[in-house]
Homo-oligomer: A and B are copies of this chain.
Amino acid sequence: MSAEASGTIPPQLQLDNQLCFPLYAASRMMTRLYQDKLAPLGLTYPQYIVMMILWERAPCAVKVVSERAMLNTNTLTPLLKRLEQQGLIARRRDTADERVVVLYLTELGRRLRDDCECIPEALLSSLAVQEGDLLQLKEILHRLLPALSGQVDEGVE
C-alpha cells in the first residue's frame, strides 16, 4: 500500500498542479449543493438551469435554450420532455416553421420561480469563503468561458 515517490511524477501531471481537476470537482460539489435545495421542488440542477433560461426568454425555440445553456438537443430533448411531464412547460411546433419547437412556460412553471429566488443567495452565503473570491471567480469564468467554448467549436466547423 506504499505510495510511489512523488518526485518521479512530472509536475505537469500532479493533480495539485492541475486547473482542470479543481474546476471539475468544484462544479460537481456546487451541483450537489444545489440539488439539496432543488430536490424538494422536483428539479435537477440542469433542469434548474433550463428553467432559468426560460424565465428569461420563454416563449422561445429549443435552439435559444441550446445556445444559452451550451447543451445540445441530445441532452435537451429528454430533459424538456421531463419538464413537460411535470407540467412546468409546454412544447409546440411553430406553425410558421415546422422545424422549430417553441417552449412555453405554464402557470406552474412561472410560479416555480418564486420558490427558486432565495436559493443562490442562501447557498453562497453559507460557504466559508471570502465574498471577493466569489466575485473574482465569476469574473474570471466570464472571461474564460468564451475562450473555452471558442476552442471547443473550432474542430466542428
Contacts and interface: CB of A to CB of B under 8 A. Distances in A.
A19 B124 contact: yes
Contact of A56 (B3, B140, B155): B3
24 contacts: A1-B102, A2-B59, A3-B60, A4-B58, A12-B120, A12-B121, A13-B52, A13-B55, A14-B56, A19-B137, A20-B30, A23-B141, A24-B27, A24-B49, A26-B145, A29-B70, A32-B152, A33-B148, A33-B152, A36-B155, A128-B147, A128-B151, A133-B144, A140-B140
Number of copies: 2
Provide the main secondary structure of the chain A interface: helix
A52 B15 contact: yes
Interface of A: 1-4, 6, 9-10, 12-15, 18-34, 36, 45, 49, 52-53, 55-61, 68-70, 94, 102, 113, 116-117, 120-121, 124, 126-130, 133-134, 136-138, 140-145, 147-152, 155
